[in-house]
């Protein structure tokens, strides 16, 4: 899982994907505070816990650095930036049964145009994933020697088992 780099200044300021998605009954928008717990649970259920942490972080920013794809008042996809680390896009995901309708690309473009408006010149796409999707959508390029990159010392609680005496302490803290 390596990182990629894309040039935000080359991305046209074209938000027409919002209308294109709307025509399919899909709304791409920023979340509301009311939805925070629902979004975190949804990401945990449909993707993974680490992504739930990252989405949580993006929902704590003001303004939020997260976009949702909503259909029939249900979440079908999401994207985030400045959540893993500053200047980094991701995580993102669309429900398997809703893929192939331009929603993943719309969520990517919304986040990247928002980053551009925020003042970033480049975006790092963290821990890819479907590299071809990013190459095609925004001419992203691979960053050499970027795996495991910022995740090199990633702490996961289950890793505590490797350190004698630590796992019992963590188990007590987490219970």
Ligand X SMILES: CC(C)(COP(=O)(O)OP(=O)(O)OC[C@H]1O[C@@H](n2cnc3c(N)ncnc32)[C@H](O)[C@@H]1OP(=O)(O)O)[C@@H](O)C(=O)NCCC(=O)NCCS
Instruction: Find the residue with minimal CB distance to ligand X.
Output: 104
Q: Determine which residue in the list 133, 149, 151, 170 makes contact with ligand X, applying CB under 6 A.
A: 133
Question: Is the CB of 31 or the CB of 91 nearer to ligand X?
Answer: 91
The yes or no reply on residue 105 touching ligand X (CB under 6 A) is yes
Nearest alpha-carbon partner for 83 in 34, 150, 156:
150
> What single DSSP character describes residue 65?
-
**75 burial type by CB count under 10 A (0-12 exposed, 13-18 middle, 19+ buried):** buried
Is the separation of the CB atoms in 107 and 79 below 8 Å? Answer: yes
Run of H or E including 10 = none
Q: Determine which residue in the list 64, 101, 112, 140 makes contact with ligand X, applying CB under 6 A.
A: 101
The yes or no reply on residue 31 touching ligand X (CB under 6 A) is no
Site string for ligand X, 81-100 (x = CB under 6 A): ---------xxxxx----xx
Beta-sheet pairing, 66-71 with 141-142: unpaired
Q: Which chain residues interact with ligand X by CB under 6 A?
A: 90-94, 99-105, 128-130, 132-133, 136
């Amino acid at each position: 899982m390596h990182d990629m780099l894309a040039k935000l200044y080359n991305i046209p300021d074209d938000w027409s994907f919002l209308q294109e998605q709307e025509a399919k009954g899909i709304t791409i928008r920023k979340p509301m505070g009311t939805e925070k717990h629902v979004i975190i649970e949804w990401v945990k259920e449909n993707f993974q816990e680490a992504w739930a942490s990252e989405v949580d972080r993006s929902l704590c920013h003001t303004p939020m650095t997260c976009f949702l794809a909503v259909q029939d008042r249900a979440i079908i996809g999401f994207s985030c930036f400045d959540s893993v680390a500053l200047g980094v896009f991701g995580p993102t995901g669309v429900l398997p049964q809703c893929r192939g309708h331009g929603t993943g690309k719309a969520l990517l473009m919304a986040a990247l145009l928002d980053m551009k408006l925020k003042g970033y010149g480049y975006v790092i796409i963290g821990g890819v994933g479907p590299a071809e999707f990013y190459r095609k959508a925004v001419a992203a390029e691979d960053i050499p020697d970027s795996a495991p990159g910022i995740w090199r010392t990633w702490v996961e609680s289950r890793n505590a088992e490797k350190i004698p005496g630590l796992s019992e302490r963590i188990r007590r803290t987490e219970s």
